[in-house]
Amino acid sequence: MATFLRRRAAAVALGVLTLTLAGGGIAAAAQPAAKAPAAVAQPGARQPGTQPPVTAAQARAAKAAMRATLAPPAPGTVAWAGVRSDGVLLQHSGNVTGSFRFPCCAPGEYRGQYQVTLDYDVHLKAFSATIGTNDPLNVPPGGEISVAPRTLTPNAVFVQTRNSSGTPSDRPFHLLIAN
């Protein structure tokens, strides 16, 4: 009797497995035709932007900042900066030498793009940024922020700010560089 039940259980398990696989194959065959990648993309998804080109004056200023170094911060410490929406430094640690907002040439061009320069090489460091200000009477408007090493400038950080709908927009921000 026990042998009969074992054989029957094996047959039932095999039958369930067969029906499951067959049903899955039918369900997979009934799927609608695959959509083109553009149709599947998230609505309003943005493509990664590019950084403004490095001018000769910016390259000279970055090299001068590297020569004026106090000393790179010790491992485990951070360099930081608070920057206004017009690119002016509000507060900063000793290794931050300057910041600026890229000028707008055409409507919307370079809007919300900033460079923060330090006196040491930061291109392999970790960056973190958030929209904010140190003014206790002002809550900055919401938005998004991105941060990356500055192209062709090892001692600078590139920051891009956007409004909540994703349009490039000038926003104040805080920046941390972990050493």
CA distance 174 to 134: 9
Range of the domain at 84: 56-178
Name the average pLDDT for the chain: 81
- Let me know if residue 16 belongs to a domain: no
Q: 23-27, 83-87, 149-153: which has the minimum mean pLDDT?
A: 23-27
- Let me know if residue 33 belongs to a domain: no
CA distance 23 to 33: 19
- Let me know if residue 1 belongs to a domain: no
Q: Give the model's confidence band at 136: pLDDT under 50 very low, under 70 low, under 90 confident, else very high.
A: confident
Q: 40-44, 76-80, 92-96, 134-138: which has the minimum mean pLDDT?
A: 40-44
- Let me know if residue 93 belongs to a domain: yes
CA distance 50 to 59: 18
- Let me know if residue 11 belongs to a domain: no
Q: Strands (DSSP E) along the chain, which ranges? A: 78-83, 89-92, 96-101, 113-118, 126-131, 144-149, 156-162, 173-178
pLDDT at 155 over 70: yes
pLDDT value for 84? 94
For the record, the structure tokens of 41 come out as 């993309």
Split into its structural domains, the chain has a count of 1
Q: How many contiguous H segments (helices) and E segments (strands) does the chain have?
A: 3, 8
State percent of the chain over pLDDT 90: 55
pTM over 0.75: no
For the record, the structure tokens of 178 come out as 């972990």
Q: Identify the residue with better confidence: 63 or 107.
A: 63
pLDDT at 39 over 50: no
Q: Give the model's confidence band at 160: pLDDT under 50 very low, under 70 low, under 90 confident, else very high.
A: very high
- Let me know if residue 35 belongs to a domain: no
Q: Give the model's confidence band at 63: pLDDT under 50 very low, under 70 low, under 90 confident, else very high.
A: very high
pLDDT at 123 over 80: yes
Q: Give the model's confidence band at 96: pLDDT under 50 very low, under 70 low, under 90 confident, else very high.
A: very high
- Let me know if residue 14 belongs to a domain: no
- Compute the average pLDDT of residues 116-125: 94
DSSP 55: P
